[in-house]
Amino acid sequence: MGILLQQGLVMVSDSLTNAGVDQIAKFRKMTIWETPGERVLVLMTAGNLAVSQAVVAHLNEGLPVNGKSESMMTVNTAAEAARLVGAAVRAVDAIDGAALRQSGLDFDVSMILGGQIAGGPLRLFLIYKAGNFIESTPDTPFFQIGENKYGKPILDRVITFGTNLADASKCAIISMDSTLRSNISVGPPIDLLVYRRDTLKVATHQTLADTDPYFAEVRAAWGSGLRAVFSEIRNPPWDFG
């Protein structure tokens, strides 16, 4: 998930990839391009791992744009970065899409891109498998991709554009933990990146394993808190026989 706030940006991703119960592996789904004082761009991916890795390879190596090669380290604005990601998705589709479909597989990828380049604003984009994208606004301050239905309710209840970075990070961890608990296709370690607006450097990047003390504390406190609140709500006033 990516969360755009007045103070900055919170990005969170898991690391579990599976192609069935006997094909489970851990791959980082977050890629960071950072030149302190000049740019911070963060891309998170969901869907077919081979597709997403091919897209990232194009973004690192460069794509032809207006007669020259552009990469995530050379684009001039965050919007140009989003358009470059879309172009990379379409380039991979042109190379591999037909073969995937002939094998009965979907060309399945979605991405969240957030960040800031010197001279421009902080922005957050959701990029679809066709290469088109939408942008976050203060009224829609977060995007999710992948298995999002389990963790979305907590975000809906807590996150606003004015939420501070610490509270948003805590909420994101709780949201991810709710997904971990309900879906075996999502798993640790968890990547959490925080960027403070206009600083042009990553504020913190944490990798949270199951054994991380703060992650364990949040999981325990959230679970016991939910049970406590549940027990305090009076039962329905109906006759159940």
Taking all residues of the chain, what is their mean pLDDT, rounded to a whole number?
90
Residue 25 predicted with pLDDT over 70: no
Which tokens in the block code for residue 1? 């998930």
Architecture of the domain defined by 2-230: 4-Layer Sandwich (3.60)
DSSP per-residue letters across 152-192:
HHHHHHH--TT--HHHHHHHHHHHHHHHHHH-TT--SPEEE
- Quick one: pLDDT at residue 180? 75
Nearest CA-CA partner of 176 in 163, 186, 161, 166 = 186
- Spatial distance between the Cα atoms of 205 and 53, rounded to a whole number of angstroms: 21
pLDDT in tens, 125-151: 999 999 999 999 999 999 998 776 677
pLDDT at 94: 94
Strand residue runs (E) in the chain = 2-4, 8-13, 16-18, 24-26, 30-35, 39-47, 63-65, 68-70, 109-117, 123-127, 133-135, 142-143, 190-196, 202-208
Give residue-wise pLDDT tens across range 112-132: 999 999 999 999 999 999 999
Instruction: Grade residue 19 by pLDDT with cuts at 50, 70 and 90.
Output: very low
**Mean pLDDT, rounded, for 218-225:** 90
* Res 21 pLDDT > 50: no
Give the residue among 131, 178, 191, 132 at the shortest CA–CA distance from 10.
Answer: 191
Single-letter code of the amino acid located at 81: A
Q: What pLDDT is recorded for position 28?
A: 81
State the pLDDT at residue 152: 87
162, 190 contact by CB (below 8 A) = no
Which pLDDT score is estimated for 189?
85
Given pLDDT bands bounded at 50, 70 and 90, which one contains residue 27?
A: confident
Phi, psi angles (nearest 5°) of residue 93: -60, -40
Residue 26 has pLDDT above 80, yes or no: no
Percent of the chain with pLDDT over 90: 68
Q: Residue type at 162?
A: G
Distance of CA 86 to the CA centre of its chain: 16
For range 183-209, the mean pLDDT: 87
